[in-house]
Structure 1
Amino acid sequence: MSNRAKLFGALSLGACLLWFRAAAEVPPETVGQVAELPPMAGAHWLWVPDRLFRHSILFDGDSGRMLGAIDSGVQITPKPPLWSHARKEIYNVDTIYSRGHRGERKDFVVIYDSRTLNVKGEVEVPPRAADTGTGIALVGLLDGDRFLVVLNQSPGTSVSVIDLENRRHVGEAQTAGCAGVFPAGPTRFGMLCGDGTALTVHLTENGELDRLARSKPFFDVIDDPVTEKGVRDGSTWWFASFEGLLYEVDFSGNAPAPKEPWPLFTENEIESGWRIGGAQHLAYHRKTKRLYSIVHEGGPGSHKDPGTEIWVYDVPSRNKIDTFSAPNLIAPFLGPQAGFDATGMLGSFLSFVLPNMGVHSLTVTQDERPLLFVRHSDLGAVGVLDALSGEHLRDIDEAGLSGALLVVP
């Protein structure tokens, strides 16, 4: 059964459940309350952007409780909110048009107070911020929280640099043929290029372009390109290729220094059809050096398909050390709509009989008791797993309708 057929079946079941839902008294909602977030973001907090509602919701992964939300513009997918703990600010890149969906375009870096989520300022940037279905690698907050970088495409690529300390647009670095922004220091970030190379963009202390330095070609853009869904540890980034090779690129020097890749799959696993897949398919826990990868069984061209398994690797030894099962998120998605408890008997029954559609995206917290968050891009629920054991702890329901991105502040 195709993923589209599975989704149609789940939505049809949801419609039937709504039709037969018994009337129930809904407790009145208390309105007019104003709350503030704690001074520091929680270790298990999570942003869930939604491309239909055009906002990003902040959840507590321990309780599943919604903490707040910020709006986004008319882009395809809200870009990841960037949280400066030093400045106690949150930054979001928005696009607006003077006539709704047409007219003069303007792009802004909107600045939110991280405790009240009130807008406290904005910086106008060139009106050509890039837009994709996932929103990954389009914006980045450089180390030290002074400079924010925004990928532009119209159709050539460039990067806008914003000085957050002085709230001004510093300038635009021309980066023809390269895309994605991967922070690697206070005044340095990396990019991937269409000729199989990587690029390091060096800035001055004031945020102006200092120099560009390019690596030698290290991947085949035709036979086995890498995806932009990289994961980071300091100035080192890892990128997976469509065929399952993991590339390590060190951006700490003048030019990027890629290392020889290593395979995520054995020959037997490749013959069985195992492949990487999804939208945000990699996550990395820095302290344990564990890499999490969404995998599925499919053929060439299936790199966007969701996966029902998450394979765990120890990066230093280059070995697979565990396999997690992705939770079935259909019941948590349908439960609030149809008025049943997804953790009760009906929810458990539906999770057992309905096909598991898998997950498109995952991310992991960076504390000593990390949580692994997963989502399917067309189901408004987020699964919460113990990142060390793979135990399915809970689900966060009513997390939106559609979107692939997950962001840990």
Structure 2
Amino acid sequence: MVRQPYLLALALGTALTIPAFAQDSADAPEPIAPETLTVKETIDPGPNVISNAQSWDGAGAFQVWSAEDLTYKGNLTTGSMSQMLISPDGATAYGQSTYMKRITHGDIEHVLEIYDVATLSITSEIALPTKAAMVAAYTPYLAMNAAGTLVYVQNATPATSVTVVDVAAGEVVQEVPTPGCFGVYPTLEGNGFSTACGDGSFASFDLGEDGSEMSRSSSEPVFDPDENPIFIAGKRIGEALAFITYNGDLITLDDSGEAIALLDMVSITDGVDEDWAPGGYDLFAYSPTADILFVAMHADPYDGSHKNASEEIWAYDVSEDTVLYRTHVEGVISLSATDEEAPKLYAVNEHEGTLEIFSSDPDAKFVLKHETSTDSRGWATVVSVAQ
């Protein structure tokens, strides 16, 4: 075979230039310095906001953010369909999670996990009966007694009951049957709790110091479950237990006695020309110092629109029974407010998958001003201010 001279020359030239190039140390890249990885012992100091980014097909997370500007601090890993509870001092988080061995079928585990927020770590876990409600996250599905010694877990198999957990002993105390009732609303003192029932009444349970059941009582119906049901999220307004109904009524209850008693029922939509109603999940928040209730509202309600995200957030003066201001805010489904004269409002935006801060102006009837948002971090229905 006859080689073409120019091809031979090209091959020789290439072969000769490669070693010459490789030996030119001036053109060689600098060696890569090894990266040193460190782990912060604790998250940055300061008040936090914690949201429950619930997952239904794997691990979820409690996401921890700075309450000042929503800087992301880290997360507490949970299982599937988690429920979240934050201690009053914000130092401890409790998570009830489901762990599914094969995701779609097979064995499951239910646990109560206890977290140290500062170090973003699990400190202990307590095995639960496999009866916990596997539903979207709401505040009354995981609750604590006033002393912080007992945790209550909402069950649904679909029969309803409440698992009582002694967190110091790390063990389940008992299961309290609550047929036809849902949600756990602890009393301000002692170990009792109430639960909302399907006939419009409330059942109340008084527990002993060790969590054993002492007595049960039932109230008269306080709402109409067919025409005007309540949203399951309950909040405190002073010492009263408060609920919002689908039609926009604010119901306050006295749960300090043997049985719950109705204190008052007022409509926050009276005098409004258009047709508006509350909507969302944890859809209202109360700021005690300001005495203002913030409620997520949507226009043109219909049967089934009770989970619709907000078109406005209303600032309602509880003492004066007056809507002070209606701020246009789209996409909000859950709210939490700080306790100060000019409350901050933390909101879950379902449309954007974000957490948002709004400031309020008491001199302008508590109009809201958007301050900042997080980036999109999944789907949440509960946000808690951990001051």
TM > 0.5 between the two?
A: yes
Partner of 1:275: 277
Partner of 2:367: 390
Distance 1:390 1:382 in 2: 19
Question: What amino acid does structure 2 have at the position aligned with 1:325?
Answer: H
Unaligned runs of 5+ in 1: 1-28, 327-356
Question: What amino acid does structure 2 have at the position aligned with 1:98?
Answer: K
CA contact (8 A) 1:379 1:401 kept: no
* Structure 1 residue 161 displacement after superposition: 0.6
Partner of 2:61: 55
* 1:67 counterpart (61, 73, 78): 73
Q: Deviations over 1:66-107 (max 9, x none)?
A: 1221112122xx312322539x43211111123344322221
CA contact (8 A) 1:82 1:140 kept: no
Partner of 2:254: 250
Q: Please state if 1:96 is matched with 2:117.
A: no
Q: Which moved more, 1:294-303 or 1:95-104?
A: 95-104
Partner of 1:130: 133
Is the alpha carbon distance of 1:65 and 1:176 closer, same or farther for their aligned partners in structure 2, counting shifts above 3 Å? same
Is the alpha carbon distance of 1:209 and 1:387 closer, same or farther for their aligned partners in structure 2, counting shifts above 3 Å? farther
Matches within 5 A, 1:8-407: 31-37=37-43, 42=47, 45-52=48-55, 54-75=60-81, 78-83=82-87, 85=89, 88-185=91-188, 186-233=190-237, 235-269=239-273, 272-301=274-303, 302-326=305-329, 357-388=330-361, 389-407=366-384
Unaligned runs of 5+ in 2: 1-34
1 or 2 for the larger relative contact order (CA 8 Å, sep ≥6)? 1
Is the alpha carbon distance of 1:229 and 1:297 closer, same or farther for their aligned partners in structure 2, counting shifts above 3 Å? same
Distance 2:186 2:259 in 1: 14
CA contact (8 A) 1:46 1:61 kept: yes
Q: Deviations over 1:226-277 (max 9, x none)?
A: 11122114542111111111111111111111123111112543xx111111
Is the alpha carbon distance of 1:368 and 1:123 closer, same or farther for their aligned partners in structure 2, counting shifts above 3 Å? farther
Partner of 2:6: none
CA contact (8 A) 2:80 2:98 kept: yes
CA contact (8 A) 1:157 1:176 kept: yes
CA contact (8 A) 1:371 1:387 kept: yes
* Structure 1 residue 131 displacement after superposition: 2.6
Name the structure where strand makes up a greater proportion of residues: 2
CA contact (8 A) 2:338 2:344 kept: yes
SS at match of 2:385: coil
Question: What amino acid does structure 2 have at the position aligned with 1:406?
Answer: V
Distance 1:280 1:59 in 2: 19
Is the alpha carbon distance of 1:307 and 1:114 closer, same or farther for their aligned partners in structure 2, counting shifts above 3 Å? closer
CA contact (8 A) 1:57 1:399 kept: no
Distance 2:98 2:181 in 1: 22
SS at match of 1:260: strand
SS at match of 2:84: coil
Determine what percentage of the aligned residue pairs are the same residue.
24
Instruction: Please say which structure displays the higher CA radius of gyration.
Output: 2
Is the alpha carbon distance of 1:383 and 1:311 closer, same or farther for their aligned partners in structure 2, counting shifts above 3 Å? same
SS at match of 1:137: helix
* Structure 1 residue 387 displacement after superposition: 3.5
CA contact (8 A) 2:296 2:333 kept: yes
Q: Please state if 1:408 is matched with 2:385.
A: yes
CA contact (8 A) 1:294 1:311 kept: yes
CA contact (8 A) 2:85 2:143 kept: no
TM-score of the superposition, structure 2-length normalised? 0.83
Q: Which moved more, 1:191-200 or 1:362-371?
A: 362-371
Distance 1:111 1:268 in 2: 46
SS at match of 1:206: coil
Distance 1:209 1:380 in 2: 41
Is the alpha carbon distance of 1:369 and 1:319 closer, same or farther for their aligned partners in structure 2, counting shifts above 3 Å? closer
Q: Deviations over 1:188-211 (max 9, x none)?
A: 122110011012221101111111
Distance 2:148 2:379 in 1: 30
Q: Deviations over 1:321-363 (max 9, x none)?
A: 222232xxxxxxxxxxxxxxxxxxxxxxxxxxxxxx4322211
Distance 2:368 2:353 in 1: 21
* Structure 1 residue 113 displacement after superposition: 2.0
SS at match of 1:300: coil
CA contact (8 A) 2:327 2:367 kept: yes
